[in-house]
Amino acid sequence: MTDSKTAPPPLRFTGHKYLINRLIFSTLTGRAIRISGIRSSSPTHPGLLPHEVSFLRLLDSVTNGSQIEFSYTGTTVVYRPGLIIGSAAGYGAGSGGVVKHELPKECPRGVSWFLIPLCLLAPFAKGQVNVLFTGPGVITSATENGDVSVDTVLRSILPLYSNFGIMTDKIELRILRRSNAGPTGKGGGGEVQLIFGHQVRLPKTIHLLNPGRVKKISGVAYSIGVAGANNARMIEAARGVLNQFKVETYIFSAVSSAPLIPMDRGGEKKKIGIGFGISLVAESSTGAYFSADVVSPPSGGAPPEDLGRRCAFQLMESVSQGGYVSTVAAPTMLTLMAMGSEDVGRLQLGRDVIGSEEIISLARDLKAFGASGWGLRDADSGCKGDIVVSIVGKGVGNVGRKI
Amino acid sequence: MAVVLGMRKRQTQTTLAKRKQPSLCSSEDSNEDLQAVFRRHFEAQFKPLDKKPAPKPQEQPQISDLEDGEEEEEEEEEDWAGLSPSPEPAVEIIEHVTTTTSTRASKSELKAFHSSKPPSLLPTLSLSTSNPPSKADEDDTTEAQNLKNDLALQRLLSESHLLSSLSTSTSLDLSLTGRHRHKSTDLRLLTLGARSSLTDPLAQKMPMAMRRGILGKQAERESKRRKEARENGVILERAVGGSAKKRRERRERGVGAPTVGRFKGGTLSLSRRDVASITGAAQGGKGRRKGKGRKR
């Protein structure tokens, strides 16, 4: 079916930016894409970086029948998507039905960079998605280049799936081993397993217009390979800022030893991914989530009090931006709305959230894939300046579950 | 000019916040702008606050402001600079204040944290159900507790022979494992009225020859043990089973015959012992009944 003569030509894109978004849309809609000019002007690292190639491999193991072609120079990729299978035994998974995905040791992005798109694909899979991220490149903490920590994904992005009729009871995100980024900001020895057990035919249409008021703040402070007292200091600093709001705050503390990864030569192992960080999530009375993530720099030198205060301020800023979702979760929500039934769904976003480059390019890419345009209007309630986005779904949904 | 020493107000959080470098904030605005934004937002929704906003760092407190003796809150930016107009480098005051005691999260919160599932809105509805379970933790003497303890004691007593065989292990807990657990379950079932034991091999079906062999070997071992003990002068427990069997094998006396006395030639002759047994005379001690009450 993918090689039939009536297959439409691949959509053309350029540049390495928003590569993941385009790959996800291609997989969800079934249209082939061709991305050219990937870092073609870079003398040292033209083409895709190892972690991007790793993501393509992950797509390959979760789908059946997808074809990936690289050009000779590596700066052009043609991706013909297949069906999203999930972790069915025999296709790419072992006998237990777990897809074991190893991240390369030069990976500078956190594992949430892989997790968030995978969670987007998982409800549309044919079977359960059970992926274990392992290897010398798994960073479970936040990173300096803007990735959030796995705790934030678990506590502020995954609960939003329940709005679409995807039962969060069947979703599990286990952090088997924690790790910060390595000394150069690359690599880590963590281990994370995602079990996404609920597949739907079509996500429900949502109308989320009222952000509500923040009623609970929870968070996780983690220390890996360093003293657990850092957690207490970060928590106290964060509480010192957040106490003025008189909201119930629970910040949990996770201490673990430094993970080991095998060295290049021999069977020796070395410690990697030492550091600490804090992740805060604010939950509102209507089920909106706002998050903040701060991590210690790999070179060190940041006292934990500074990190705690910074994270609290970041959380306040995220809440002040308004809307029902923050910048981290907005792509997920908008994509799921666009893949829903042919009905108008509405979502309230802050002005700064929707006015960012990422969301605008997301809208443009969706339009290129054949989705309808978005309707924007000013919001009646909530923060001043909020915008309500109206999206008509494509109606394609889960092809694997079509009867 | 007399400065009232010791009446300097403590630096509060807002003034401390101004001391910190603005680069620590995530956004480009500095801390006081953020505070001012929030203050304005707050005041737009509610009444304006009574306190004055914190002054900018460039302002120096005038000496004339201190003349009335009482200092306004948050008015002082730094230490009193003294009479000299040139400002000395500001002394940074670091406060170590424990703002709150850390409250332990409830059990449900801890459980939600340790489970790897994303949180849902539902748990917040079950606030009322969290209270009753706390009562069960107390060690109060309710009837249910007594019954539970009684049951545990009875079980311990009846299974003590299994535990004694386990006494070689160094663990202190009383839980049985493996073969002993099966045996204890079997014992409980037998007391409840099971027909036959599941673990006891002699209760199972087996060829007659095998059973006879097992029992014969058991009897041989027992008699050997008693013989050796008697030879060596070791006192053993009193033998059981032999007299119980003998007692049952009383002689059958015929169908219509009387149970006491001899009937011959139409006459029932009662001996002294028979009369005593009829009248129920005072019984002797156990030792007197050596002959097991066999009729004379």
Give the integer Cα–Cα distance in Å for A329 and A292. 12
Is there a contact between B117 and A287 if contact means CB atoms under 8 Å apart?
Answer: no
Mean pLDDT within B258-268: 89
| Interface contact B170, partner A, CB < 8 A | no
Angle at A175 between CA A213 and CA A332, to 5 degrees: 45
Tell me, yes or no, if B45 comes closer than 8 A to chain A by beta carbon.
no
User: In a 10 Å sphere around its CB, with 0-12 CB exposed, 13-18 middle and 19+ buried, how is residue B44 labelled?
Assistant: exposed
- Partners of A158 on chain B (C-beta within 8 Å) are 118
B20 CA to chain A: closest CA distance, Å? 10
CA distance B74 to B32: 13
Residue B228 has pLDDT above 70, yes or no: yes
Q: Which two tokens stand for residue A385?
A: 């300046």
Give A-chain residues touching B109 at CB under 8 angstroms.
Answer: 218, 250
Rounded to whole angstroms, the maximal C-alpha distance in chain B is 149
Taking an 8 Å cut-off on Cβ atoms, the answer to whether B121 and A287 are in contact is yes
User: Is A159 in contact with B120 (Cβ distance < 8 A)?
Assistant: yes
Residue A196, classified by CB atoms within 10 Å of its CB into exposed (0-12), middle (13-18) or buried (19+), is: buried
- In what helix (H) or strand (E) does residue A142 lie, and over which residues does it extend? none
Reported as half-sphere exposure (CB side, CA atoms, 13 A), residue A216 has a value of 19
Residue in A172, A313, A317 closest to B117 by CB: A172
Chain B environment of A309 (Cβ under 8 Å): 20, 24
- Which pair of tokens denotes residue B96? 């170590």
Contacts of A381 (CB under 8 A, 6+ apart): A209, A210
Contact: B13, A240; criterion CB under 8 Å:
yes
Contacts B42 to A, Cβ<8 Å: none
B170 Cα to chain A: minimum distance (Å)? 32
- Say if residue B65's pLDDT is above 50: no
- Tokens for A117, please give them: 């798109």
Given a contact cutoff of 8 angstroms between Cβ atoms, the answer to whether A300 and A327 are in contact is: no
Interface test with B, best of A313, A326, A356 (most B CBs within 10 A): A313
Reported ipTM exceeds the 0.95 cut: no
* Interface contact flag, B100 A169, Cβ < 8 Å: no
Partners of A276 in beta bridges: A223
Considering only CB atoms, B118 lies closest to which of A155, A309, A316, namely: A155
Ranges assigned E (strand) in A144-212: 171-177, 188-189, 191-196, 207-208
Tell whether A234 is within 8 A of chain B (Cβ). no
- B167 touching A (Cβ < 8 Å): no
Choose the closest CB to B26 out of A155, A240, A310.
A310
Contacts of A157 (CB under 8 A, 6+ apart): A116, A119, A289, A328, A329, A332
Task: Tell me how far CA of residue A353 lies from CA of A146, A278, A320, A385, B41, in angstroms.
Answer: 15, 23, 11, 11, 20
pLDDT at A320: 93
Chain A: residue nearest B26 by CA? A314
What residue of A is the nearest CA neighbor of B102?
A236
Q: Is the CB of A240 less than 8 angstroms away from the CB of B98?
A: no
With pLDDT > 70 as the criterion, what percentage of chain A qualifies?
96
Phi-psi region of B168 (alpha: psi -120 to 50; beta: other; left: phi over 0): alpha
Q: Using CB atoms, which residue from A172, A220, A243 is nearest to B116?
A: A172
User: Would you tell me which residues 256-285 of chain B have a C-beta closer than 8 angstroms to some C-beta of chain A?
Assistant: none
The residue count for chain A: 403
pLDDT, tens digit (0-9, with 9 covering 90-100), for A324-375: 999 999 999 999 999 999 999 999 999 999 999 999 999 999 999 999 999 9
Q: How far is A155 from chain B (nearest CA, A)?
A: 6
Chain B residues with CB under 8 Å of A240 CB are 13, 99
pLDDT mean across residues, chain A: 91
C-alpha distances out from residue A319 to A41, A292, B23, Å: 39, 10, 21
Paired tokens of A112: 């949430």
The full DSSP string for A302-315 is --HHHHHHHHHHHH
Average pLDDT of B38-53? 74
The pLDDT tens digits for A95-150 are 568 999 999 999 999 999 999 999 999 999 988 999 999 999 999 999 999 999 99
- Whole-model pTM: value is 0.63
Does an H or E element contain A230, and which? helix A229-242
DSSP string, A277-346: EEEEEEEETTS-EEEEEEE--TT----HHHHHHHHHHHHHHHHHT-BSB-TTTHHHHHHHHHTS-SSEEE
Q: What is the pLDDT of residues B118-154, one digit of tens each?
A: 987 655 444 444 444 444 445 556 888 899 999 989 9
Q: How far apart are CA A154 and CA A266, in angstroms?
A: 36
Q: What is the pLDDT of residues A44-101, one digit of tens each?
A: 889 999 999 999 999 999 998 999 999 988 899 999 999 998 887 666 555 568 999 9
Mean pLDDT of chain B: 73
* Cβ–Cβ contact B100 with A under 8 A: yes
Largest Cα–Cα distance of chain A, in whole Å?
65
Nearest CA in chain A to B120: A159
